[in-house]
Structure 1
Amino acid sequence: MSRQFLADGLELSGGDRGVVAVVAVVALAALAVGYVLLKEVLAAGQGTSKMQDIAKAVQEGAAAYLNRQFRTLGVFVVIVFVLLFLLPADDTGERIGRSLFFIVGALFSASIGYLGMWLSTRANVRVAAAANEEGGREKATRIAFRTGGVVGMITVGLGLFGASLVVLVYAGQAPKVLEGFGFGAALLAMFMRVGGGIFTKAADVGADLVGKVEQGIPEDDPRNAATIADNVGDNVGDCAGMAADLFESYAVTLVASLILGTVAFGAQGLMFPLIVPAIGVLTAVIGVYITNARTGENGLSAIKRSFYISAIISAVLCTVAAFAFLPSSFAGLDGVSDKIKQTAGNPVLIASVAVIIGIALAGIILWLTGYFTGTEYKPVKEVGQTSLTGAATVILAGISIGFESAVYTALVIGAAVYGAFLLSGSVIVSLFAIALAGCGLLTTVGVIVAMDTFGPVSDNAQGIAEMSGDVEGPAAQILTELDAVGNTTKAITKGIAIATAVLAATALFGSYSDAISQALAKASDATGAAASTAFSFIVFSPNVLVGITIGAAVVFMFSGLAVNAVTRAAGAIVFEVRRQFRDNPGIMDGSVKPEYGRVVDICTKDSLRELATPGLLAVLAPIAVGFGLGVGPLAGYLAGAIATGTLMAIFLANSGGAWDNAKKLVEDGNHGGKGSDAHAATVIGDTVGDPFKDTAGPAINPLIKVMNLVSVLIAPAIVSFSVGANPQTGIRLTIAGVAALIIIAAVVVSKRRGTAIAEAPAETVSNGVG
């Protein structure tokens, strides 16, 4: 059967469908490997009964939180599903498919997040137990990393299976349907990232301020009522939230690649972006299984080695696939426009070099982030040194590191984007190359997810060990080392995640422009509309500059809302933990058990209550700008959000990571060690950095992609209301006004809530009301 190119897209040949089917099988194989790794992790010993009791409390708290969160988000998902169905589409089948796969993307994102939480809350006690055994460092490292490997395999398996299923069912209409899939994944990931981040950092900040600073007891001392909530938070924030975040990065990058690929490379452009991550499945399996720390070796060295080996294998195999699957000239690509065919360039070289650029970008960010946040490098050592002069200098040093590292990382990401863009003289092919660079980066996503999950599992393991008192001496030191390694791996994965956001968002500009062009072509006065400043993307046009400014401002507002939410929730935790110490003197001598459940309940209520405002801002701000100012200013809005979001996310993540590991340096005996003034200073720095690195910073990544996908989805509607014989200006401005008013109302309510903690009586605050 030969390929046929229809009015509504291309139809796949039997051979093409065979390729996609193989990719789907590879995706299912990834799920099978994840199951094998799962059985291996669960087969490990669980330590003493006291350790298991503590782990069970963490498991119950994490499950209760996520169950309540999903019930809350379920209503929101249904509302968005209905609104998405009402948006314009070429036909009813496309509209139904887009809306249904929005649900599928959201369900996949939620499932991966829940699995990440479920397994990490069971692996933590096993890592703690392994540290007590012979060869403890190597065993504990392997269990923690393979726990992440399970989540990594599920992430790549579901992401690849979902995309290949859409391509098999919808063929040429797949890119439009995939917009819904990516939007569902990104939207739910953003909510899980924000909610989990608020939970974990409220508990962490409250535990540190009252326990470490005021009472002078260790971080995970069982006398601190916030310790269980702190350990629960690690799982619902760093495991569930980040797992969902990396899944949506995977899904949205595939969406951008497939949308552009059909235009740039025809049918092969729909196939090759699926082949690249399928190769990534193989390299992820290799990367997880070769991660074994040698005797006495630092865990970070073993993780980095396996990452670089798997990255090199990916680069080689993807290059081989490009030469085997793609023709050497555009003339050999069916369904590509004559204009693109006339563009000088070799599809094989464009695709292979673009993928290599993405893989190289991941490696460079790994090194760069590790340098600025690792305990063995100069930046963190300097932050630790400043603890001798107090908390203020610790905070200033960490902020300086965040600013500096953001510049270098942004330049590296910018170089990758521009390098991919230079691969072709055609803009659409160049944008496809940028999307392929994102696919290349994500060939390592299985290992990246494993690295990220390693952090909270190690952190929880140390907490369980300290609370139980059953892990001491060298074993306790092993867990401390793994916790420090985990801080660095978490910072690395956040850097890589924001890089994928930039690559995907930049590539989505192509689909945004294409959506506008198609909508204008359907309008009766397309020529006149195209000349209007409302549809101009010229950067020095004042209305576009206004859009850029608003986009940048939204990132600041979003970050401020997230940090302020942690401040409010942490304030409630501080009051509650203080109350328990005050009302129950027996807590300090160990004769009375703290009320852990009250703190978990406060964190749960406050984090879920705080979800609405950032979520509404992310979804409604593009609607207000687009319908109010036009698609040109909306393009500027996206550019401002991408640029500012990149710098802000890296600054927040790396500052927080540097403060956290500077605290670890002091706790290891440097500059006076635990209990010293230097230690108190680094605890304050770490407390400031907690909402930076684990709430606001990582949430910017899905924020950027949610706003991009909302813009792509609403662009045809904006055009249809703006041009034609009877432009619906009143309706358009009404939509913009309603969106703006909802945002304003949400922010006002949020700000009023912020003063309640200071004004409410202690008993009210301790109940999480305010």
Structure 2
Amino acid sequence: LGSIYVAQMGTILANVAMVIFPLIIAGAGVLGAVVAVLIVRAREWKNPQKTLTISTYIAALVVFITTIFLSIYYLKDWRAIIAIGAGLACGVGVGWIAEYYTSSDYHSVKEIAKESQTGHATNVIAGLGIGMKSTALTVIILVAGIIIAYLVMGGAEDLGNYGIALAAVGMLSTAGITVSVDGYGPISDNAGGIASMAALDPGVRKITDKLDSVGNTTAAIGKGFCIGSATLTSLALVISFGQATGLTPDKFSLMEPRVIVGVLLGGMLPFLFSAMVIGSVGRAANQMVVEIRRQFSADPTILAGKTMPDYERCIDISTKASLKEMVLPAVLAVVSPIAAGLILGSEGLGGLLIGGLVSAIMLAVFMANAGGAWDNAKKYIEEGALGGKGSETHKASITGDTVGDPLKDTAGPAMDILIKLMSIISLIIAPVLEQTPSLWDIIVSWL
């Protein structure tokens, strides 16, 4: 990311500190993760959600303190403190919003559970609304971080673009502890599955369900962090692409038709990508259901618990489907920027990246938070609220959870990969676009 500044100034030797500084901050993030783990393990915590949240705050604090000393004594530019701080604040803020909308301690999840009392449709409608609403504050926080980092570093006249890159570094610096916290979710989920399969005491399952509920929230926080950091990183990469291809304000303008075309196509891509991924989940699930029914029909003693089912066959189906079904979405992510660049030129490709970035942010936040909220609404009811497990309310909540799973576990997390991959591929082909006329240019020259 420090290469953005290098590209502006045109020399590496004169700005080594600018290039090295982000790398040191990333190292400080590793130190922060270690300190956070040591402090959290030093005492007993009764609230697992609070424990995981505090560990993130500790890591962010360590990074910020390190940033103060490095900015003053190494970089010799106090403005970097605010830019890095803006990124850290974005990470913490996005995490808190995800917690608010997906934790059963707050109103949103309880509202979905309440709506489940009137049926399956109202549960789904409530979850969709909560997920859409959660995008507002998330985007506002990211926008505020971008503006602060850009302006404090001097804007277009100075190091504004480098400031955005530093904000991305600040947000990514806590990736170590954030990924660790995010990993807690599947661990607790699998622990619950093992407890059920081993027919352990119901009290054990009750504990794992509580931990799994926290895991759903931490997973939403991790996904929010990923898309937030991907937003800042991709924005920095888009700026680098513009500089590499010589895009100027008069060329990259909304008055330029191919820019508008690129924006529209870019806005469409995350929806198409998500549709392909969600469709893949549906097809794989269908194969799994067919296989399970076949086993039950062939050997009725499985349902009585007298015979073990063929788990390996089910695992084989899911593994093969996951690999096979991701081929087309991967091709779409790789080919789209190349095709846009060759057909529309660098102006159209720039529009494609901007449109894809905006669309992917909204979709990713919506899907991650809606899915997490649906899941925890079900857990909230299973804990005894609104009729408890086995009630009609619980059955409605299961529908919402089933709808939300492919959103929060498959399509949502893929959005940050999509926009990063498109941005990086665009940077790679930038020299080719500079020397090769686009199809748009060729057609215009003929007319």
Please, what TM-score do these two structures have when normalized by structure 2? 0.94
Deviation at 1:667, TM superposition (A): 1.0
Partners of 2:241 and 2:426 within 8 A in 1: yes
State the secondary structure of the residue aligned to 1:630.
helix
| Residue 393 (structure 1) aligns with | 122
1:446 aligns with 2:195: no
- Residue 109 of structure 2: which of 380, 401, 407 is its match? 380
Partners of 2:113 and 2:397 within 8 A in 1: yes
1:547 aligns with 2:262: yes
Partners of 2:83 and 2:166 within 8 A in 1: yes
Change over 3 Å in CA distance of 1:491–1:653 after alignment to 2: same
| Residue 560 (structure 1) aligns with | 275
- Residue 704 of structure 1: which of 385, 396, 419 is its match? 419
1:643 aligns with 2:358: yes
Deviation at 1:350, TM superposition (A): 2.4
| Residue 589 (structure 1) aligns with | 304
1:569 aligns with 2:318: no
Change over 3 Å in CA distance of 1:374–1:294 after alignment to 2: farther
Aligned mates of 2:7, 2:29 — CA distance in 1: 22
| Residue 462 (structure 1) aligns with | 192
Residues 223-242 of structure 1 show CA distances to partners (whole Å, capped at 9, x for unaligned) of xxxxxxxxxxxxxxxxxxxx
| Residue 511 (structure 1) aligns with | 240
Deviation at 1:293, TM superposition (A): 9.0
Deviation at 1:715, TM superposition (A): 1.6
Deviation at 1:349, TM superposition (A): 2.5
Deviation at 1:261, TM superposition (A): 4.8
State the secondary structure of the residue aligned to 1:594.
coil
Greater than 4 Å deviation, 4+ residue runs: 293-296, 727-730
Partners of 1:279 and 1:443 within 8 A in 2: yes
Partners of 2:28 and 2:62 within 8 A in 1: no
The one-letter code matched in structure 2 to 1:291 is V
| Residue 306 (structure 1) aligns with | 55
The one-letter code matched in structure 1 to 2:51 is A
Residues 540-586 of structure 1 show CA distances to partners (whole Å, capped at 9, x for unaligned) of 32221110000000111001101111011111111111222222211
Residues 716-759 of structure 1 show CA distances to partners (whole Å, capped at 9, x for unaligned) of 10120129xxx9959xxxxxxxxxxxxxxxxxxxxxxxxxxxxx
Change over 3 Å in CA distance of 1:428–1:566 after alignment to 2: farther
Aligned mates of 1:543, 1:599 — CA distance in 2: 48
| Residue 9 (structure 1) aligns with | none
Give the alignment of 1:296-445 within 5 angstroms: 297-327=46-76, 348-423=77-152, 424-426=154-156, 429-445=159-175
| Residue 295 (structure 2) aligns with | 580
| Residue 496 (structure 1) aligns with | 225
Partners of 2:364 and 2:412 within 8 A in 1: yes
Partners of 1:260 and 1:428 within 8 A in 2: no
Query: Structure 2 stretches of 5 or more lacking a match?
Result: none
Aligned mates of 1:458, 1:500 — CA distance in 2: 25
Residues 126-179 of structure 1 show CA distances to partners (whole Å, capped at 9, x for unaligned) of xxxxxxxxxxxxxxxxxxxxxxxxxxxxxxxxxxxxxxxxxxxxxxxxxxxxxx
Identity percentage over the alignment? Answer: 41
Aligned mates of 2:323, 2:2 — CA distance in 1: 34
Give the alignment of 1:109-148 within 5 angstroms: none
| Residue 15 (structure 1) aligns with | none
| Residue 21 (structure 2) aligns with | 272
Deviation at 1:443, TM superposition (A): 1.9
| Residue 143 (structure 1) aligns with | none
After the TM superposition, which of the residue ranges 271-280 and 427-436 deviates more from structure 2? 427-436
Residues 85-107 of structure 1 show CA distances to partners (whole Å, capped at 9, x for unaligned) of xxxxxxxxxxxxxxxxxxxxxxx
Aligned mates of 2:201, 2:17 — CA distance in 1: 56
Deviation at 1:476, TM superposition (A): 3.1
Aligned mates of 1:481, 1:289 — CA distance in 2: 24
Aligned mates of 1:711, 1:260 — CA distance in 2: 19
The one-letter code matched in structure 2 to 1:437 is A
Aligned mates of 2:299, 2:116 — CA distance in 1: 34
Aligned mates of 2:159, 2:303 — CA distance in 1: 66
Deviation at 1:295, TM superposition (A): 4.9
Aligned mates of 2:256, 2:4 — CA distance in 1: 28
Give the alignment of 1:252-267 within 5 angstroms: 256-261=1-6, 263=8, 266-267=15-16
Aligned mates of 1:561, 1:589 — CA distance in 2: 38
1:629 aligns with 2:344: yes
- Residue 329 of structure 2: which of 614, 622, 630 is its match? 614
| Residue 674 (structure 1) aligns with | 389
Aligned mates of 1:675, 1:260 — CA distance in 2: 59
Partners of 1:263 and 1:269 within 8 A in 2: no
Aligned mates of 1:671, 1:688 — CA distance in 2: 21
Deviation at 1:361, TM superposition (A): 0.8
Partners of 2:117 and 2:392 within 8 A in 1: yes
Q: Calculate the aligned-residue CA RMSD, in Å.
A: 2.0
Query: Structure 1 stretches of 5 or more lacking a match?
Result: 1-255, 328-347, 521-529, 731-770
Deviation at 1:425, TM superposition (A): 3.2
Partners of 1:548 and 1:637 within 8 A in 2: yes
Partners of 1:257 and 1:435 within 8 A in 2: yes
| Residue 662 (structure 1) aligns with | 377
Aligned mates of 2:221, 2:394 — CA distance in 1: 25
Change over 3 Å in CA distance of 1:313–1:432 after alignment to 2: same
1:285 aligns with 2:18: no
State the secondary structure of the residue aligned to 2:155.
coil
| Residue 142 (structure 1) aligns with | none
Structure showing greater radius of gyration is: 1
Change over 3 Å in CA distance of 1:675–1:293 after alignment to 2: farther
Residues 654-710 of structure 1 show CA distances to partners (whole Å, capped at 9, x for unaligned) of 000000100101111111111111111111100000010010000000100000011
State the number of aligned residues: 437
The one-letter code matched in structure 2 to 1:458 is S
Change over 3 Å in CA distance of 1:720–1:480 after alignment to 2: same
State the secondary structure of the residue aligned to 2:255.
coil
Partners of 1:390 and 1:678 within 8 A in 2: yes
Partners of 1:273 and 1:439 within 8 A in 2: yes
Deviation at 1:497, TM superposition (A): 0.5
Please, what TM-score do these two structures have when normalized by structure 1? 0.55
| Residue 400 (structure 2) aligns with | 685
Deviation at 1:513, TM superposition (A): 1.8
| Residue 484 (structure 1) aligns with | 213
State the secondary structure of the residue aligned to 1:362.
helix
The one-letter code matched in structure 2 to 1:493 is G
